Amino acid sequence: MITPGIAKSRGTAPVKIKFYRLRQVALVLGLVVLLLSAVLPIGCASSSSSADIEEEVRINVLNILESIKDTTLGELSAEISSLDQEIASLNEQLDKLNQVAAPALEWVQVQKAEAEKAGYGGKRTVEAASYLESDKFRNEQFRVVKLQFTSVMLSGSTKYTSVINVENLSTGAVASLEELTKEFESKISALTQQRNAGKTVADTVAFTADDVLGQYQNWRVVKVNLTTYNVSGPGLGLERGVITTGVWTYYFEPENLIPSDAKSDALLKMLKGK
């Protein structure tokens, strides 16, 4: 005989099973909805993320090229500054040489005027040994150690020669005034040419870099793999001294930028001042 309690329990079991199944269906539907809501914006997010990465690559390439330019200009500026100092030092030394040379040359002119007026015959030599003790023939850098004038009359014509020897007090070396003057002028001329050449390179690097970097928004970025991108476009190459298109390879990790064709390689060399 079946008791009422047992009958009641058997009567509610299907209801519990149906309710449990409904809950499972609801959970599944909820998961589907969540998945769909997560999947639907992926396309837009992916597109947005790709555009952001491309812009990041452009800016990184821009920064690398700008850093190369700044390094080159810094090195050239330091070189030019060093040359300016060396040229200034040589000019200062030449000025000091001219200080002691001026009274010596004046003495030679006086001797020549006297010889022309007197009309000496034969050979006549005058030395200014006693005059050289005067402070006007010396300074902290140079000292006139020999001052001589010679007149020679041959066949009715007179030839005049002079000797002005100068000692460099810092080295003890003695040379003629003419030799020392030519040496200083030659060094100054060579260094000035080197300085001007460096300034021309610096100006070219700065001007070209401004042209290159100003076109970064037009650069095309193509993904090669997760960490490598090809970057191409206007302003990224140099051909026969003219800015043109070029191709570079950019690496995220470790960050590096490598020229990928002859024109980009030529641009890199120019930006490095080579």
- Can you give the pLDDT at residue 46? 45
pLDDT tens, position by position, 201-246: 999 999 999 989 988 889 999 999 988 999 999 999 999 889 999 9
> Which residue is it, tokens 């009359």?
153
Mean pLDDT of 86-94: 97
pLDDT tens, position by position, 134-177: 889 999 999 999 999 998 887 778 888 999 999 999 999 999 99
Cβ 263 vs Cβ 239: under 8 Å: yes
pLDDT: which is higher, 89 or 9: 89
Residues 6+ apart with CB under 8 A from 216: 58, 59, 61, 62, 235
Q: What percent of the chain has pLDDT over 70?
A: 82
Cβ 69 vs Cβ 63: under 8 Å: no
Which of the four pLDDT bands, split at 50, 70 and 90, describes residue 130? confident
Cβ 80 vs Cβ 198: under 8 Å: yes
Which of the four pLDDT bands, split at 50, 70 and 90, describes residue 21? low
> Alpha-carbon distance 109 to 107, whole Å?
5
Looking at the DSSP assignment, which residues form a beta bridge with residue 150?
A: 125, 161
Residues 6+ apart with CB under 8 A from 105: 164
Cβ 211 vs Cβ 221: under 8 Å: no
Mean pLDDT of 9-29: 50
Which of the four pLDDT bands, split at 50, 70 and 90, describes residue 27? low
DSSP 8-state assignment for residue 138: B
